[in-house]
Structure 1
Amino acid sequence: MRRSPRRMTSLLSLTCLTVAGGLAAAACSPPGSGSAASSQSSRPAGSISTNPAKAGTVTLQVWDQEVRGGQNAEISRLNKEFQSTYPNVTIKRTAKSFSDLKTTLKLALSGKNPPDVVEANQGYGDMVAFVKAGMLTPLDSYAKAYGWANRYPKTLLDLNRVSNDGKHFGEGKLYGLSQMGEYIGIYYNKDKLKQLGLQPPKTWKDFTDQLPKIKAKGQLPIQFGNLDKYPAIHTFGVIQGQTAGKQTVRNLVFGTGNATWTDSGTLKAAQVLADWAKKGYFPQGANGLGYDDAAKQFASGQGVYLVTGTWEAAVLKPSMGRKLGLIVTPPDQPGGSVVTTGGESLAFAVTSKSKHPDVAAAYINFLTDKHAADVMTKTGNLPAVPGPAAKSLPASSIEGQMVQGWETLSQDDGLVPYLDYSTPTFYDTITASLQGLIGGKLTPQQFTQRLQSDYQSFHSQ
């Protein structure tokens, strides 16, 4: 299939989003019941029941990947509150890691009894493929009934839209709603920096210049575990944003312009990542260390920096307390514009075979309203559309730093999309290639050529 660059231009504003409070945001199955999806899409908003209490006894099957710390805390609390509000509804939750969800969801959706609500990764490999197979229900009628267009900025909603022909995302029908905003930041251990006589870096050069100094003093510069494969996408994406620039990265992901994965900026990013691994700035054998294990080691004092997403703040805070700090990837020059990888969390979607689509949509509405935003904030998460609780966060707290970073990225138009959105097979290609690059089995040139081969194969169809 071919993606038309002209049709993706509306997504180029993805990373310049103004949302409530001045904040901003910016992974071959048998076909499912396409007719069910179509019938739901054509229903007028007035015919939809927005009161689950009238649905009778309902068991709602939900698959999510909110398994870590604050993520699990917020979804558990909101699930409990939803069931308390509607005693006739029982939520049967299946929680999986991102990797497990990505591996098993296609099979579950193609079965006879798929879940009612699932979290689906945006992009070609997941959401677009599910829509094309008729596995998800369009939510436009529900969006009108609940006023989601008034709650969310258009650009956030657009990221969860798929065209009618199933060939691209960013326009067309709405197939999901995301709870949280997110970006890849640089966590640091305040005590470690102080002991080393260092300050949080104010520029990208400050950061990279500190790494050999930290190593020379017998400390681990960057904690990092890539057994789960996806963490390297985030680390590489942060570097690529600095070396290639945000517009090049956007062009690569959205298929606009004449960008290639073998350009000099991307090649330089690959060289930087390979050098970091070779020079020992990561733990030895990082490809065999799990993401959660790396986070635990960082929390226990092993490593000065940790490059990962805002979702990890609530996991790290209980162990680290005041020692934990967070900055957005620093700019080239003091006071310059920042750039980093980010966007919004996986979208909650209603499956086309669900027997309770109205209740499922009401549940998604409940997970994303103003009260839910405050629950997310109080459990250490970053809601896509922050509520009143975000305004009262102390600036020095990890939560306050996280929100401040969100504001800065909005002002600077600094978010670039996740790289694995680029093609239907890009997640597998880039994760395997990054492991090869970090492990020294691929040169930077071989790495970029593999990415370009996948990319070119998709765009030449």
Structure 2
Amino acid sequence: MKKAAGLAAVVAAVALTLTACAPGSGAGTTTSSAGPVSKDVAAAGKVTLTVWDQNVDAGIAEAQEALNKQFEAKYPNVTIERTAQSFADLKKTLRLALTSNTPPDVAQVNQGYPDMGAFVEAGLLRPLNDYDQLYGWSSYFPKGLLKQNSFSADGKSWQGDNLFGVSQTGELVGVYYNRALLNQLGLETPTTLDQLEAAMAKAKSAGILPLSFGNLEKSPGIHIMGVTQASLLGAEGVTKLVSGQGGAWTDAPTLEAATKIAQWAQDGYLTPGANGVSRDDATSAFGRGESLFLINGTWQQAKLETAMGTSAAGFTVLNSAVDGKPTTTGGQGLAWSIGSKTKNADVAAAYIDFVTNAGSAEQLMSTGALPTVLPASYQPEAGTLAADIATQYRAVQAANGVVPYLDYATTTFYDTLTAGAQDLIAGQITPQGFVEKLQADQAAFLAKR
């Protein structure tokens, strides 16, 4: 997840075009570390590979442990030393770790300007174009997703010519719903924002909590805003806005999204005291049947299946009011990147390939995690949560409806957006004041580029 982090910022070409070229191939400048690269992991001798990740949620945590053991079995000369922590903690600690005398060889890095761009600009990440050519990542991953993990060599231009990471998981942020409660209320699965609001109003009238929402960690504010804004502004509008290529955060659709969220809080549609409730507690409450809806990412699949069984919950993505196509925040999980100080680049690249390739996809799916590239043969039983997620994932990609995580916009946007969303939900800032803060942050950032 992004999590939450952790599939996201894409320019319209997010569809699964598996014949795409690598970032920077055929045009522009390609930066790569000096010297030849190799797949010969054994030639590295005894290696302790330090790995930092945020794969701590149910499903992906189990898959990661299994993949690490499989990698060590395949390469007995390698011992993996893993540090796993939450998305919020990783954001706080990773920069310091990369600049230390004992930096991780491999780390999951949040895309966009706040983390990946800042690390590239500081020279803390190794470009991966040479390993892309060695392992053929460009022929496996969609071009739009690889571009999301790319920057100019100086870190100033997102989606540049240099690849700095490869993602392991696919992600969508959408609306989970309780099938039994939806049927009890006589409602159909919502596919538009209007339908979602009408369902929440009916649930509230029936004494049912409409939307389980915990914003203690602040990052869930990105998700509720992302889903609501995408349904009003559409994929092209959000992508241009986040990338600084057009529009303003004060424009009517984004203001309307903020206004709706503030109204939901005021009307009691959200968990009471949501800013003091953790993301995990809100998810658990939904899993216990205490609310009709939950806005969260596909990375919660395994946790909800454990709590509710395989078919008690469903998952839906809202259609855009602009073109009627399914549109939402998402794309891919955090990128696996190589630290620039590593002395084990070949081993690190082999590890990245191992945990992101088609073989890893099977391992991920076996534990309820969603791989970045979903095999065509994957067809879960109809009526299950897994089937809903697979269907929505494919539909959103086919519609080019995946839009960026909003915090990608500037180096400081994560803090501005998440703090602002807490204030918005608490009624401590008006929707107009909220979007003006977002606009001011991006305007100041773009003025310095």
Q: TM-score, normalised by structure 1?
A: 0.90
Question: Equivalent of 1:401, from 385, 388, 411?
Answer: 388
Secondary structure of the structure 2 residue equivalent to 1:90: strand
- Determine whether 1:55 maps to 2:44: yes
Corresponding residue for residue 259 of structure 2: 271
1:41 and 1:169 map into 2 onto residues whose CA distance is 20
- The alpha carbon displacement at 1:19 in A equals 4.4
1:320 and 1:260 map into 2 onto residues whose CA distance is 41
Q: 1:92-130 CA distances to partner (integer Å, 9 max, x unpaired)?
A: 110010000001101111111101100001111100111
2:275 counterpart letter in structure 1: N
Corresponding residue for residue 286 of structure 1: 274
- Determine whether 1:76 maps to 2:68: no
Q: 1:306-359 CA distances to partner (integer Å, 9 max, x unpaired)?
A: 0111111111111111211111124559x9311111111100001011121110
1:346 counterpart letter in structure 2: L
2:144 counterpart letter in structure 1: T
Corresponding residue for residue 444 of structure 1: 431
- State the percentage of identical aligned residues: 45
1:160 counterpart letter in structure 2: N
1:407 and 1:96 map into 2 onto residues whose CA distance is 29
Q: Which moved further from structure 2: 220-229 or 394-403?
A: 394-403
- The alpha carbon displacement at 1:140 in A equals 1.0
1:251 counterpart letter in structure 2: K
Q: 1:40-71 CA distances to partner (integer Å, 9 max, x unpaired)?
A: 6233xxx3221322321111110000000011
Contact kept, 8 Å, 2:14 with 2:143, in 1: the verdict is no
2:409 and 2:395 map into 1 onto residues whose CA distance is 26
Secondary structure of the structure 1 residue equivalent to 2:176: strand
Contact kept, 8 Å, 1:67 with 1:97, in 2: the verdict is yes
1:154 and 1:212 map into 2 onto residues whose CA distance is 41
Contact kept, 8 Å, 2:299 with 2:370, in 1: the verdict is yes
1:381/1:269 CA distance change after superposition, 3 Å: same
Q: How does 1:21-170 map to 2 (within 5 A)?
A: 41-43=33-35, 47-170=36-159
Q: How does 1:108-257 map to 2 (within 5 A)?
A: 108-257=97-246
Structure 2: tracts of 5 or more residues without a match: 1-8, 20-29
2:187 and 2:256 map into 1 onto residues whose CA distance is 27
Question: Equivalent of 2:307, from 315, 319, 339?
Answer: 319
Secondary structure of the structure 2 residue equivalent to 1:69: coil
Contact kept, 8 Å, 1:120 with 1:347, in 2: the verdict is yes
Q: How does 1:283-432 map to 2 (within 5 A)?
A: 283-321=271-309, 322-332=311-321, 336-387=324-375, 390-432=377-419
1:109 and 1:202 map into 2 onto residues whose CA distance is 43
1:137 counterpart letter in structure 2: R
1:392 and 1:338 map into 2 onto residues whose CA distance is 20
1:261/1:113 CA distance change after superposition, 3 Å: same
Secondary structure of the structure 1 residue equivalent to 2:388: helix
Q: 1:202-244 CA distances to partner (integer Å, 9 max, x unpaired)?
A: 4332221111110011110000000000101111111111222
1:12 counterpart letter in structure 2: V
Corresponding residue for residue 6 of structure 1: none
Secondary structure of the structure 2 residue equivalent to 1:244: helix
1:190 counterpart letter in structure 2: R
2:97 and 2:141 map into 1 onto residues whose CA distance is 29
1:94 and 1:228 map into 2 onto residues whose CA distance is 20
1:253 and 1:199 map into 2 onto residues whose CA distance is 33
Contact kept, 8 Å, 2:117 with 2:158, in 1: the verdict is yes
1:274/1:11 CA distance change after superposition, 3 Å: closer
Q: TM-score, normalised by structure 2?
A: 0.92
1:271/1:94 CA distance change after superposition, 3 Å: same
RMSD across aligned positions (CA) = 1.9
Superposition misfits of 4+ residues, deviation over 6 angstroms: none
Higher helix share: 1
- The alpha carbon displacement at 1:17 in A equals 4.0
Contact kept, 8 Å, 1:201 with 1:330, in 2: the verdict is no
